[in-house]
Structure 1
Amino acid sequence: MRTPQSTYRLQITQAFTLFDAAERLEALADLGVDWVYLSPILQAEPGSDHGYDVVSHARVDESRGGAAGLDAVAREARRLGMGVLVDIVPNHMGVATPEHNEWWWQLLREGREGAIADAFDIDWEAGGGTLLLPIVGDDDWSEDGTVGHLELERDERGEAVALRYWDTRLPVAAGTGAGTPQEVLERQHYRLGHWKQGDDQLNYRRFFAVTTLAAVRVELPEVFASTHVEIERWFHEGLVQGLRVDHPDGLRDPAGYLEDLDRITGGAFVLVEKILEPGEQLPRWATAGTTGYDTLGAIDRVLTDASAAEALDALDARLRGGEAVDWAELTHRTKRRIADTILRAEVLRLEREVRAGEDGEDMPADTADAIAELLACFPVYRSYLPEGREHLGTAAERAKHHRPDLGDTVDALLPVLGNPRQPAALRFQQTSGMVMAKGVEDTAFYRYSRLTSLNEVGGDPEVFSIEPRDFHAMMAQRQAEWPHAMNALSTHDTKRGEDVRARITTIAELPTAWEELLDKLLVFAPRQGRAFVNLLLQAVIGAWPASEDRLIAYMEKAAREADAITHWTDPDTRFESHLAELVRNVVAEPARSDVEAFLAQTEAGFRANVLSAKLLNLTIPGFPDIYQGSEALEQSLVDPDNRRPVEWARMDALREQAREPLSSEWSADDDLELAKTRLVREALRLRREHPERFDDYAPLLAHGESAEHAIAFDRGGAVAIATRLPIALAARGGWGDTTIQLPEVEGGWRELLTGRAIAGGEVLLAELLGGLPVALLTREG
């Protein structure tokens, strides 16, 4: 199995096709990139800019370049000695426009007896033999089921071929086309419902709470085969060398799926998008590891000043009127709300499956309530029975603590939900991750404002920081167990780009200065939601100088995701307009000067954090992924902001400049983007040309008065040295007599950013890191 030394993620869209990607590969190879990593490329919904709404597994999306475009990428990658990694989406398909999804169209036309019915995860009985499509707007809905703006489409012979609700075209079953549009609708294998009915009446599994993404049953051999014919062709023809599997936790049997994938790809390189909670271990599946959310969180936390936790907790509590946040209680509350509202349909389906099982008829009347409570209390995304049964036990204890009245029902559920032979147990595993993702990542993360650089996918904001010794222990374990996993720093899913987080991390070194700035800016803010304003303003300073339009778009999404004052389904326009006015005031004078004064105060720390985080990402065990454009500053906010087009001409200019070594006297006046690009170039080239120098992991400990500010390690011939807590380091007068012991090697060391020769043995950090806050060394010769 070929494994990458690095990847570079490209978002393939109609505006940046596979042909465009092929033309970029030479520049990426020059940067040092080993493999190109493509976002989903199978046929997606028309106009999709992300590709996770696949409508056909049979072909590469023509609007993204089609099969010819993939051929072009493969040819150019082969010429350059690069590998190709592709993101695939096995869990669900896009069904927003049924006429573009042949499977969904056939399902709607033929119903539960049709040839395609088993491909989708549908509870036909719950729908009375029909499939609910919750697409009807408020003005077109009547309680008697009558739908407005419904039209019948006929062919030239007068035969009814489709129903149309506004722009949504739906099939008509054979022999059912006589009469009015409403009469024809009532004969179909589907029924149209009010859009809110999807919350509690939907009878098909979906991706999270997105009703336009219907789940596919890849656990069935025939469905797996049909959805992977094109993917299998990629490997048979040598077009692709590896895969990234999107959302494996939605699958009935992730381990079995990965074994099937291993079989059809001939044992190719595969990564899984798996989010691990603190202390949780990835099961030993047929995979090289995760996509790196875990290392992203570790890097951010080892660069965060632990001493600020108390002050920032106090600030957060003050903004909430004196009430301190209990993270466990907050996430329990948000998860329970999700289970009771937008994912209520999934809870009710679980209840039906429990009751349909052995002795299920005797389950108490509060079974659905108990299931929802167990989901709200589940400590990880999901279990993989029989592995992880202890998580169900933990959830049960927590559930009985929160709701003693449900104790007997919880105990009655445990034998069912803990038995992998029970359909309800398998569905519970598929559902717990949905509740976690929507309740924590997409809600609680937007309500908790202590230090928002920690509110990131795959991280637990309650874990404020980690010490270097703990970081080293994590990395040594990673080298021993998952040496070929991916390390991320920015992705298409991160809520704040890596350098937004690098700026926010400086708040932990200057919490008093941040509170003073915040109090000045709060005069422009609404009286309610002050804690959310704190979160919003951290994003503003992290993305500075982002445009007003970008910041207001972020504000709207973040405020609605928080789901506290304003909501997606019921926007509070007054609150949102007040927040928009806050943003406008902050980016204008006189507030702008206050913001820029804080930015100046944190600038040196920000610059050090940018380079230190990147160096760690590039050199720790596993391999680094460079999200498109993040070789320069990456100050994007949550999607779709992080999928903005890359300024490739600027990337090319930086790459050309980065050929030259940086000055050893590099200072705050020098180009940060150039330094970051030089760091990426040298690290990627070193990994590609000397992978053997990254086969080990040994911590290098500093000694002296400022030893706590260094984090360093030897990978087996490549040494990385980074600065942590740079503002505090400057306040104490710098490195002083702090030293680090470099291994003695024949020929000495070469520092790659500046090109300096460095002797082995004891080295003063004041000399090694006198200008740049990081050093990347490799053995000479």
Structure 2
Amino acid sequence: MNQTNPANARIPTATYRLQFNGGFRFCDAARIVPYLDALGVSDIYASPFLKARTGSMHGYDIVDHNRLNPELGSRDDFNAYCAALQRHGMGQILDFVPNHMCVEGGGNDRWLDLLENGPSSAHGDFFDVDWAPVKKELTNKVLIPVLGDQYGTILENGELVLSFEEGGFFISYYEHRFPIIPKTYSPILTHRLHELERLFPANHEAYRELLSIVTAIGHLPFYTELEPERVRERYREKEVIKRRLLVLCAENWPIKEFIDENVRIFNGEKGNPHSFDLLDGLLRQQVYRLAHWRTATDEINYRRLFDINALGAIRMEKPRVFEDTHRLVMELVRENAVTGLRIDHADGLYDPTEYFRRLQRACFLERRLASLGSSGDQSPGALAETILQMYDEMLEVSPQTMPFYIVGEKILMKNERLPEDWPIHGTTGYEFANAVTGLMVDTRNGREFDAIYARFIQERPNFAEIACQKKKQVMRFSMGGEINTLGHHLNTLSESNRHTRDFTLGSLIKALMEVIAHFPVYRTYTASRKVADRDRQYIEYAVAKARRRNSAMSESIFTFIEDVLLLRFYDNTGKEEQEQWLDFVMRFQQLTGPVMAKGLEDTAFYVFNRLVSLNEVGGTPERFGLTLEAFHGQNIERARSTPFAMLATTTHDTKRSEDVRARISVLSEDPAAWHDCLMRWSRMNRGHKVTVQGVKVPDRNEEYLIYQTIVGAWPADEFTDGEYGVFVGRIREYMLKAMREAKVNTSWINPNPAHEEAALHFVAAILRDIPANGFLADLRRTLPPLVRCGMLSSLSQTILKVASPGIPDIYQGTELWDFSLVDPDNRRPVDFEKRMGMLAELQSIERERGALALARALLQTMADGRVKLFLTWKSLNYRREHRSLFEAGKYLPLEVLGERSDNVCAFERYSDGETVIAVAPRFFTRLGTETWGDTRLVVPFESAGRAYRNILTGERVVTALRERRTVLPLTAVLADFPVALLEAVGDE
């Protein structure tokens, strides 16, 4: 496998994202490896395949980091899949989840151990649990907000069920399972003990054994015990008690019947509330407090991924947690089964920089151990120590040494850069997806679209204001517990100084929310007592905005918050208090990211619908498109700083696939036509609206989104049998999610069934396939030019992704047209058999008829998607064959002259005598069939007569001298295919 960078990391040439789940297993992936190799892919980019919650469709709900997911196949299946990769010289990048684990469903042994043993658990500091929370009743307890109704209602409905299994007691709530603390077994075992005395004489062995077990239970240390020897005693003795109970019941059926009857009594009788008192008393003694899921908003005391109760955060900053969760991954790195890592949600980590440093160090150790094999001169421990010393010495020479290919899931906001001290190769490519989408939006028409949108929804929305308000909404209604906890910590800090101690808790929490609401980036990265300049600017900006927006609040409160966040200690701030300030800052940093994600991506992006192709993860919808100069500038910066970052156009997280976005962006080219469509469709469909509580549903903003969604997701080809009904169902499911995410008329927390049903009725009605449906007929007349231009724009996006600085990533199935919407729509099964057959057919036709004839033929049947597959295949293979040109080559934007100069993006990559030019047109509604006219590329540093071969068609074009400049005429470059990749081949 090719090694190209100084640290010897294996750098991919192109990656292909696969979504593993029960419907796509290791054996399925093994079967398509030859196809992906032929397509030009060097590395599979695998979704998480470690053991996840049963039935997981995505793998991010990990329950065990050190086991493969059995639903994906056996270890032999995995090894066979990896062997297939190695036979084809391919690598594998694993999507690894270090921030959180699934804590629901009963499959996480570490979490169950914590629930059985509390703070004294071996995993008590594994999860990020606040054992001394604001709500004093939860001291040394964990709130489990999993119940579908109030605790008392659920209890008296008999939905909480006590059981006795394998010597232990458990509580079940549907698929959830919770252990009963052994210390609290006694109430169950001694209930009705007098009745058991009548069955056995006092000296009966079984009876005495039961009493002995009860005595042993009484001597168990409490779960709050932290002294190591007492903790070990508790672990040892509780398991002895379980074994004794198991044996006792196996050998004495009267004892077993006695316990089973007690369990039945504890479970109560529905309709008799007092019969549940015993179970209630038992549950009150547990480490956990089962509660209605709504209580999580204010009282949850374990950190989560965003506001997802099922995903509990782990304390990856602790070395033991790091080592414990990375054992299997490091084993796979050593075996070369994993050749790169994609780190999920890096912003959730306490100290991302330190995590990445530790990860690179661990990967270096494993790779060196693998290359050295066994050493007769040194013990394994001594060998590892020697290798790590080598790594530390290497770091002294080159602090940014990166021996292993690692990319981080990091969303960069406008003008934000990846932290320079992260030893990784770049991000997963959200910023490129937004840049290439923005490039296809006609920036000149922003004001017209503002007016169209405002006129249609009958208000003039301000995106910045929407984002700010939605972040506050998330903090109040989804993450109130985290905000309250942080506010109490800030209040504790304020109490230590005479100038700040009079700040009230309420005012501190309000001010804190205002600062977070105005934060311009996902988070800062302070991890020591020095605040980086970039972070200082973000903090000062947020505090200044919050202060201006809240003139009625005392400025001194905001000054205090700014002092804390910037670690501007007072003269009397002691060392211990300084550590408390730093800890507050780092926890603050862990919170701003989730608030931004939930408030911006998952709420504001569903409210501000002016042109929804711009509403993408990491995007800036208020900015109407991207100029050519800005696109080139981003490529130049990436080539300089992170040349091996991923380039994505579709991911499992994108709100819409690349092809949907490309088509919606076409609307920006002709605002008047879009306005006419809206007015016409709105009139046609007015009668399908239903009045709910005096309001027409859907509202105007929802209706505006519905039309864009239908336009964007409509297939390129004709519907086949049954497909239309599926399409309508997909649009309905998307709109339900979009309305709930917007949190305007309904939400996940407080669904409004009447509004939802009325809106979904509207979707079904306007898409009813009947002759009388004028809207559907008009839609079908309107769509063909949009579909065509969208496909052409998507081809341009593809060539830009392949040729730009970075590593192109293909999301599964998108080598053909893919009109998927947000998850779970984008996790639908992919027909790989169809794609393999198509690629084989393309290869055969090219051999028989040549690339030019094939390219021309594909343009006649663009709707079937083969043209995109052809472009992907030809360009990725060329990139793989000339990897040094694309990895190390310089990037030079090319000037375009002539009447259509604004309609094309072109640049040159050159290195060591190799040169290639990428040509990607845009704004196709402005281009007719023969419209390039005198438009030409200026090719600097070249003379006339230099030949270039289009690697897509095989045709040659030759430079000419015009007005003292060497140029390539676009009429020749784009004569037979919509995009071009031109290889310099010599002089004619």
TM-score, with length taken from structure 1: 0.96
Q: Which of 275, 286, 309 is the matching residue for 2:423?
A: 286
* Residue equivalent to 1:764: 969
- Rounded Cα–Cα distance in structure 2 between residues aligned with 1:424 and 1:263: 28
* Residue equivalent to 1:536: 706
Q: In the alignment, is the contact (CA less than 8 A) between 1:552 and 1:583 conserved in 2?
A: yes
Q: In the alignment, is the contact (CA less than 8 A) between 1:84 and 1:242 conserved in 2?
A: yes
* Residue equivalent to 1:409: 557
Q: In the alignment, is the contact (CA less than 8 A) between 2:651 and 2:811 conserved in 1?
A: yes
After superposing the two structures, state which structure 1 stretch, 520-529 or 405-414, moved more: 520-529
Query: Alpha carbons of 1:109 and 1:307: their partners in 2 closer, same or farther (altered >3 Å)?
Result: same
Is it true that 1:317 corresponds to 2:454 in the alignment?
yes
* Residue equivalent to 1:608: 792
Q: Give deviations 1:6-29, integer Å, cap 9, x for gaps.
A: 100011111111121122111100
- Rounded Cα–Cα distance in structure 1 between residues aligned with 2:178 and 2:873: 52
* Residue equivalent to 2:103: 95
Instruction: Name the aligned partner's letter for residue 416 of structure 1.
Output: V
- Rounded Cα–Cα distance in structure 1 between residues aligned with 2:873 and 2:160: 58
CA positional deviation for 1:668: 5.9
CA positional deviation for 1:160: 4.8
Instruction: Name the aligned partner's letter for residue 296 of structure 2.
Output: G
* Residue equivalent to 2:522: 381
Query: Alpha carbons of 1:715 and 1:377: their partners in 2 closer, same or farther (altered >3 Å)?
Result: same
Q: Name the SS of the counterpart of 1:555 in structure 2.
A: helix
- Rounded Cα–Cα distance in structure 2 between residues aligned with 1:248 and 1:452: 27
* Residue equivalent to 2:262: none
Is it true that 1:446 corresponds to 2:606 in the alignment?
yes
- Rounded Cα–Cα distance in structure 1 between residues aligned with 2:160 and 2:647: 50
* Residue equivalent to 1:727: 925
* Residue equivalent to 2:297: 199
Q: Which of 126, 138, 148 is the matching residue for 2:149?
A: 138
Q: Which of 96, 108, 113 is the matching residue for 2:120?
A: 113
Instruction: Name the aligned partner's letter for residue 538 of structure 1.
Output: Q
Query: Alpha carbons of 1:40 and 1:66: their partners in 2 closer, same or farther (altered >3 Å)?
Result: farther
* Residue equivalent to 1:364: 504
Q: In the alignment, is the contact (CA less than 8 A) between 1:446 and 1:532 conserved in 2?
A: no
Q: In the alignment, is the contact (CA less than 8 A) between 2:491 and 2:504 conserved in 1?
A: no
Q: Which of 267, 272, 281 is the matching residue for 1:183?
A: 281
| Residue pairs, 1:39-58, within 5 angstroms | 39-58=47-66
* Residue equivalent to 2:164: 154
- Rounded Cα–Cα distance in structure 2 between residues aligned with 1:275 and 1:629: 24
Q: Give deviations 1:27-57, integer Å, cap 9, x for gaps.
A: 1000110111100011000000100000001
- Rounded Cα–Cα distance in structure 1 between residues aligned with 2:152 and 2:559: 42
- Rounded Cα–Cα distance in structure 2 between residues aligned with 1:272 and 1:412: 33
- Rounded Cα–Cα distance in structure 1 between residues aligned with 2:352 and 2:409: 11
Q: In the alignment, is the contact (CA less than 8 A) between 1:585 and 1:591 conserved in 2?
A: no
After superposing the two structures, state which structure 1 stretch, 108-117 or 516-525, moved more: 516-525
Q: In the alignment, is the contact (CA less than 8 A) between 1:140 and 1:147 conserved in 2?
A: no
CA positional deviation for 1:710: 1.1
Q: Give deviations 1:79-111, integer Å, cap 9, x for gaps.
A: 1111110000000000111x3101000000000
| Residue pairs, 1:667-746, within 5 angstroms | 669-672=860-863, 673-694=865-886, 695-716=889-910, 717-730=915-928, 734-742=931-939, 744=942
Q: Which of 327, 333, 336 is the matching residue for 1:235?
A: 333
CA positional deviation for 1:316: 1.6
CA positional deviation for 1:616: 0.9
After superposing the two structures, state which structure 1 stretch, 589-598 or 219-228, moved more: 589-598
Q: CA RMSD, aligned part only?
A: 2.0
* Residue equivalent to 2:267: none
Instruction: Name the aligned partner's letter for residue 679 of structure 1.
Output: L
- Rounded Cα–Cα distance in structure 1 between residues aligned with 2:494 and 2:79: 53
Query: Alpha carbons of 1:147 and 1:574: their partners in 2 closer, same or farther (altered >3 Å)?
Result: closer
* Residue equivalent to 1:253: 351
Instruction: Name the aligned partner's letter for residue 561 of structure 2.
Output: L
- Unpaired segments of 5 or more residues in structure 2? 1-8, 189-277, 365-402, 568-577, 691-695, 716-723, 961-966
Q: Name the SS of the counterpart of 2:747 in structure 1.
A: coil
Q: Name the SS of the counterpart of 1:84 in structure 2.
A: strand
CA positional deviation for 1:709: 0.6
Q: Name the SS of the counterpart of 1:198 in structure 2.
A: helix
After superposing the two structures, state which structure 1 stretch, 584-593 or 100-109, moved more: 584-593
Instruction: Name the aligned partner's letter for residue 117 of structure 1.
Output: G
Instruction: Name the aligned partner's letter for residue 576 of structure 1.
Output: E
Q: In the alignment, is the contact (CA less than 8 A) between 2:893 and 2:906 conserved in 1?
A: yes
Is it true that 1:215 corresponds to 2:313 in the alignment?
yes
Q: Name the SS of the counterpart of 1:265 in structure 2.
A: helix
CA positional deviation for 1:408: 2.4
| Residue pairs, 1:319-718, within 5 angstroms | 319-321=456-458, 323-357=459-493, 359-360=495-496, 362=501, 363-365=503-505, 366-385=507-526, 386-387=531-532, 388-406=535-553, 407-419=555-567, 421=579, 422-522=582-682, 523=686, 524-525=688-689, 527-528=696-697, 529-545=699-715, 547-587=727-767, 588=769, 589-659=773-843, 660=846, 661-663=851-853, 665=856, 669-672=860-863, 673-694=865-886, 695-716=889-910, 717-718=915-916
Q: In the alignment, is the contact (CA less than 8 A) between 1:271 and 1:289 conserved in 2?
A: yes
Instruction: Name the aligned partner's letter for residue 418 of structure 2.
Output: L
Q: Give deviations 1:202-242, integer Å, cap 9, x for gaps.
A: 00000000010000000000111101111111111211110
CA positional deviation for 1:139: 6.0
Instruction: Name the aligned partner's letter for residue 486 of structure 1.
Output: M
- Rounded Cα–Cα distance in structure 1 between residues aligned with 2:491 and 2:752: 40
* Residue equivalent to 2:979: 774
After superposing the two structures, state which structure 1 stretch, 575-584 or 395-404, moved more: 575-584
Instruction: Name the aligned partner's letter for residue 513 of structure 2.
Output: A
CA positional deviation for 1:535: 1.5
Q: In the alignment, is the contact (CA less than 8 A) between 1:160 and 1:172 conserved in 2?
A: yes
The percent identity for this pair of structures is 36
State the structure with more CA Rg: 2
Q: In the alignment, is the contact (CA less than 8 A) between 2:852 and 2:955 conserved in 1?
A: no
CA positional deviation for 1:607: 2.3
Instruction: Name the aligned partner's letter for residue 125 of structure 1.
Output: A
Q: Name the SS of the counterpart of 2:634 in structure 1.
A: helix
- Rounded Cα–Cα distance in structure 2 between residues aligned with 1:764 and 1:22: 45
Q: In the alignment, is the contact (CA less than 8 A) between 1:753 and 1:775 conserved in 2?
A: yes
After superposing the two structures, state which structure 1 stretch, 617-626 or 592-601, moved more: 592-601
- Rounded Cα–Cα distance in structure 2 between residues aligned with 1:96 and 1:619: 44
Q: In the alignment, is the contact (CA less than 8 A) between 2:799 and 2:979 conserved in 1?
A: yes
- Rounded Cα–Cα distance in structure 1 between residues aligned with 2:496 and 2:837: 67
CA positional deviation for 1:551: 0.9
- Rounded Cα–Cα distance in structure 2 between residues aligned with 1:358 and 1:454: 42
- Rounded Cα–Cα distance in structure 2 between residues aligned with 1:301 and 1:668: 25
Q: In the alignment, is the contact (CA less than 8 A) between 1:666 and 1:772 conserved in 2?
A: no
Query: Alpha carbons of 1:161 and 1:658: their partners in 2 closer, same or farther (altered >3 Å)?
Result: same
CA positional deviation for 1:142: 5.2
